[in-house]
Structure 1
Amino acid sequence: MNVLKAGMAVMVITVAVLALREYVPKQAVQAVVDKVSGNAAPAARGDSRHGFVDIPLPDGQSGYHVVIFAPPNCPSEAARRADLLAQYLDREGIPYARASSADFSTLRSQEEANRVMAVMNGSIPVVFVRHRARANPSPDDVVAEYRAGGSS
């Protein structure tokens, strides 16, 4: 039952975000995009200095390795960035997993759902390092976040 409620909440949030895009000034939308993509200063909430945002892990993820979310076997530039990131992490000896979708059935608040939506709707690849995520981070930022061990 909770999964249904969470799924419905995510669906409602998605529709609301799409509707708000028509009425919210572009500067406000850009401020959120900058925050999610790491172009803004970290907030006191616990966001990292590498631009990663504190959000819950997707269902089934342990948080002990890096997770790269991108479409599989896609010839797009975004998929190529995901492939290059995976190669970089291999060279650096950092464990990672790849995934093409994420489910969040344990969101506890609207604010938490908003943070998840902001990150997951960002540019691909979306990368999780422990309990933080960022849309389209640089390979160096992923490595720095991972090596910081959650203390950044």
Structure 2
Amino acid sequence: MKRIILTVVASCALCFAGYQWHKSIQEKRIFVQDIKSRTDQYGFLDISDNLPESKGIIIVAPVNCPSQQAKVADYLVTELNKQNIPATRTNSYNFRQKNIMSEREINQMIKRYQYVRTMTPPLVFVNGKIKSNPSIEAIKKEWELQ
């Protein structure tokens, strides 16, 4: 009798583990499809449909830092400003929502942002879309697109 109970418990545990594994693979697949569908031809990702007041170009990397990423950010700002394209350099970026977003929408926006944030800095926002370490050409084309 003990053996039957142990077999049933082990079978249930294996089924549950298999279900959780399958569920995590499905969630990753859906996330990748979401990222692809929200990325435009210049590689910028639209992280949310509810980000107003996100006009302009914002370059996020540590200010007054000797790292290569900070030097790239400084270069991007300088070059864009030389071409009369307004760009702002900052240490951080704050999200403001216009409409009340559901918890699900907020979590999706955070996941998208975290996805890009794990890539090589600097992060560049162009009118609310984000890309990691873009070229000046990609920034200009995205700026013109908007």
TM range (shorter): 0.5 to 0.7
| Residue in 1 that maps onto 2:15 | none
| Residue in 2 that maps onto 1:43 | 36
Write the deviation string for residues 40-99 of structure 1: whole angstroms up to 9, x where unpaired: xx8333x21000000149x9x832210000101001110110011011101221111111
Distance 1:63-1:109 versus aligned 2 partners, 3 A rule: closer
| Residue in 2 that maps onto 1:147 | 144
Q: Which moved more, 1:133-142 or 1:87-96?
A: 87-96
- Contact 2:69–2:122, Cα closer than 8 Å, also in 1: yes
Matched to 1:54, the amino acid is D
RMSD: 2.8
Q: Which moved more, 1:124-133 or 1:100-109?
A: 100-109
Partner of residue 114 from structure 1, selected from 111, 121, 129:
111
Computing the radius of gyration from Cα coordinates, the structure with the larger value is 2
Aligned length in residues: 109
Greater helix fraction, Structure 1 or Structure 2? 2
- Contact 2:74–2:89, Cα closer than 8 Å, also in 1: no
| CA–CA distance in structure 1, aligned partners of residues 88 and 127 of structure 2 | 12
* Unmatched 5+ stretches in structure 1: 1-27, 36-41
TM-score, normalised on structure 2? 0.64
| Residue in 2 that maps onto 1:72 | 63
* Unmatched 5+ stretches in structure 2: 1-27
| CA–CA distance in structure 2, aligned partners of residues 74 and 142 of structure 1 | 22
How much identity, in percent, do the aligned residues show?
31
- Stretches of 4+ moved more than 3 A in 1? 103-107
| Residue in 2 that maps onto 1:124 | 121
Q: CA deviation at 1:122?
A: 2.0
| Residue in 2 that maps onto 1:55 | 47
TM-score, normalised on structure 1? 0.61
